[in-house]
Amino acid sequence: MSEHILELRGISRSFRQGGTLLEVVQDVSFTVSPGEIVALIGPSGAGKSTLLHICGLLEPPSAVEVLIKGEAAGQLSDARRTELRRTTIGFVYQYHHLLPEFSAVENIILPQMIAGLPRRKARGRALELLSMVGLARRAEHRPAQLSGGEQQRVAIARALANAPALLLADEPTGNLDHATSDSVFEMLIGLVRAVGLGALVATHNLELAHRMDRILAIEDGRLVPA
């Protein structure tokens, strides 16, 4: 078993646009360990989101390898990669992407039931997570009845529903005002440390980045000194 939750070895990703080959990510290598919170910073278009998608097995690299808990993703079947995404990786995006017709607790129950957990156990876990993010009293509210910060807290709780080993977050506080952003970020970091999972967080906010354990900077698809 690898000591790292996530390991990238010489990752590249390119796209062909007309007659031009666009190198979006170039020769990127790094690791994320259990309990470590790593910031990923860089200007828009630098390759942050593409790199997160590769880490989350949402798109393949053009070269070399991604390892999740020591498993080489390129050697896995589609079914196994899907299973890893469902059980080992949690995702948080800039927009919450909650299902509007379901309550907060139902949004957290669903991924657990998809993973095979009985509804009663899934509901118990969902209520526990809502309590951890300070929303126990809002469990039956639908997303439209929640503030932006509350919606993002539910999204974070949902990302942790299946007890992942790795959390990937893409500008998780980017849509929030400064005070709400700070509150949600502190809650996110507190949860990550309490649970002991590894986290890779893409952000434009340098103040938040410097509160994490380590910073990775990317420019023009390459890692550069932070």
Q: For the chain, what are the domain ranges?
A: 1-88+166-175+198-226, 94-163
- Reported pTM: 0.89
Q: By three-state DSSP, how is residue 39 classified?
A: strand
Q: Which CATH class is domain 1-88+166-175+198-226?
A: alpha beta
Give the residue-averaged pLDDT of 91-110. Answer: 93
- The phi-psi region of residue 186 (left if phi > 0; otherwise alpha if psi is between -120 and 50; otherwise beta) is alpha
Question: What are the helix and strand counts (H, E) for the chain?
Answer: 7, 10
- The contacts found for 103-106 with CB under 8 angstroms, 24 or more apart, are 103/139, 103/140, 103/141, 103/142, 104/130, 104/135, 104/138, 104/139, 104/140, 104/141, 104/142, 104/143, 104/146, 104/154, 105/130, 105/139, 105/140
Residue range 120-149, pLDDT digits in tens: 999 999 999 999 888 999 999 999 999 999
Task: At 27, list the tokens.
Answer: 């020769």
Largest Cα–Cα separation, the chain: 56
Give pLDDT, residue 172.
Answer: 85
Residue range 145-202, pLDDT digits in tens: 999 999 999 999 999 999 999 999 998 887 788 888 888 888 888 888 888 899 999 9
